[in-house]
Amino acid sequence: MTIQAAFVQIISALTPIHGDREAASIAHILMEHITGLGRMDRIVYKDKELTEDQEVQLPIALEAMLRNEPVQYVTGTAWFYGMELKVTPDVLIPRPETEELAEWIIEDVRKAGTQPGILDIGTGSGAIPLAIKKNLPLATVSAIDISSGALKIAIENANKLSLAINFSLVDVLDANATAALPSYDIIVSNPPYICEHESAGMQEQVVSYEPNIALFVPDNDPLRFYRRIGQLGQEKLSAGGGLYFEINEAYGKETVSLLEEQGYVNVVLKQDLYGKDRMVKATKF
């Protein structure tokens, strides 16, 4: 089978599920993954026959896509802040909104001209701390997660990018476990924030494949992680230190009120590129 024939086969199989445009986009990603050739090279060599190994990979990748598996898990990679990261079902697929959260911190630190100690809570693939360390090389960056599988991926990503991050297996909800953490100038987190009832309206590829432990919180306690991390910030943040969150758009005002009740000042609610309440920054008094 030629490269062009394989490309057409993928589009034909996926169009009924994803539509023409999305099917073509996925086909380009899969073909680059399978052949190692960029889009222009695949045009030049469109009549080149797939190798025996590539012929084997094609139906396996296509079958996964027909099961609605996210293409990032099929290829094993996702892009975040200009970095190609390894991803598996042990970690969430990094989102563009989270890039905005990392950018907010990077810009604030550059303006301040400091060399802060930074902690990322619930690091997953390591996307946030890796973006921060890459752009703020003088910062001391640490990250924790409850999942050993996620930490394994994060460490692999850090090693591949030659970025020094201090990773630890810690459950942030366990006060005894967090007691040993040192102090920081900045704490950032993109914690679980989707209420369980919201899963009914979500895409199957997210609910069925991405780690639920990193997605969902009980309907009766949607701010569970913000409350706990806010408490931790009061214990571990230096005076004037910053707390940064990605949040559920439905609970922006509630998150702001919670942090103000915990004693934080200058609490800022920020919208993402889509105009949704998506980030909060607060300062320890």
User: 134 and 30, same structural domain?
Assistant: no
188 within a domain of the structure (yes/no): yes
Contact 211, 91 (CB under 8 A): yes
User: 152 and 37, same structural domain?
Assistant: no
Give the per-residue pLDDT at 205.
87
Which residue in this structure is represented by tokens 């990603």?
29
Residue type, 213: I
User: 261 and 127, same structural domain?
Assistant: yes
74 within a domain of the structure (yes/no): no
73 within a domain of the structure (yes/no): no
Give the per-residue pLDDT at 163.
98
- Of 35, 67, 99, the position where a domain reaches its end is 67
The parent domain of residue 52 ranges over 3-67
80 within a domain of the structure (yes/no): no
Give the per-residue pLDDT at 204.
86
With a cut of 50, list the residues of the chain below it in pLDDT: none
Q: Residue 36 and residue 38: Cα distance in Å, rounded?
A: 7
123 within a domain of the structure (yes/no): yes
- Of 18, 52, 67, the position where a domain reaches its end is 67
Report the number of distinct structural domains present in the chain: 2
User: 21 and 106, same structural domain?
Assistant: no
Nearest CA to 60 among 12, 15, 6? 6
User: 221 and 113, same structural domain?
Assistant: yes
User: 146 and 35, same structural domain?
Assistant: no
* Report field, pTM of the whole predicted structure over 0.75: yes
- pLDDT 10s digits, 202-237: 988 899 999 999 999 999 999 999 999 999 999 999
137 within a domain of the structure (yes/no): yes
25 within a domain of the structure (yes/no): yes
